[in-house]
Amino acid sequence: MKRQAAPLVPTAFPRNPAYGTGIYRRRIRLLRQESAVLALLDDTNHAMWVRVHHDGARVTAVEGRTVRAPNSNCPGAAAALEELVGLPLAMPRAELFGEGRPYRNCTHLFDAAALAMEQALRDEGGRTYDIVIPDETDEPVPAEVSLDGRVLIRWHMSRRKVVEFAPEPPVPIMRGFTAWAVDRLSGETLDAALMLQRAYLVSGARMWIVDRSPDLPITAMPELFGACYAYQPERVEDGVQAIGNVIDLTAGFTEGNLQPIP
């Protein structure tokens, strides 16, 4: 019997006894609308949407909402997306994700908005991405990103590293990964790699029972300081952990656990 992987970072939460037997899932739906693209993100820990309005070349307005998220500060992040207004839809990923933009925003809303900007330039009605990451054990696990049912990447992961490219050394999924991916990948494969990175970091939350600690201040997780909108110094002291935001998606998505189209 495989053993669970060891904890990677200190945590304020109790261990999840079911970890090692389940699956983390994320689904991102992109829908083209009149002069706009709606992006909906659902996963084990989040449900949120962003609508990017455009004139065919640039972002003209952004609106969004956090439906389900890890802490009380998260809903305010929709307003931070205003900094996308005026940016070109075709802005290269390296520039869009530069200058600290993802960290000033909810990283998940920001990712969804970036995908919506790309979708605005495509002549298609919509697309659906699915990310599937099994709980880690002592052996590498296959992490997969698919587009409308077509697999884009299927990489084996172990202890925050991609171990797919032997004899090349493993690639850390955190520091340096974005630069590595932008340098080596392009198009849909690059999008898939960046989606996998973000989803992988969230998937580790399945190790813990994170949504049953009423009034737990998010300052109890200093390892996350500066990582996103909620953990910026001007608001981190006000945040508390959300209760009941986690759903088990091991068995897959159904209409009942996907947020409705706003």
pLDDT one-digit tens code per residue, 123-175: 999 999 999 999 998 899 999 999 999 999 999 999 999 998 878 899 999 88
pLDDT at residue 11 in the model: 62
Are the CB atoms for 11 and 220 separated by under 8 Å?
A: no
Segments making up each domain of the chain, as ranges: 23-209+242-249
Percent of the chain with pLDDT over 90: 73
Confidence check: pLDDT of 12 > 80: no
Dihedral Cα 144, 149, 152, 155, nearest 10 deg: 20
Burial class of residue 189, CB neighbours in 10 A (0-12, 13-18, 19+): middle
SS3 109: helix
pLDDT of residue 231: 87
Average pLDDT on 32-61 reads 97
User: The pTM is what?
Assistant: 0.91
- Quote the Cα angle for 186-192-194, to 5°: 85
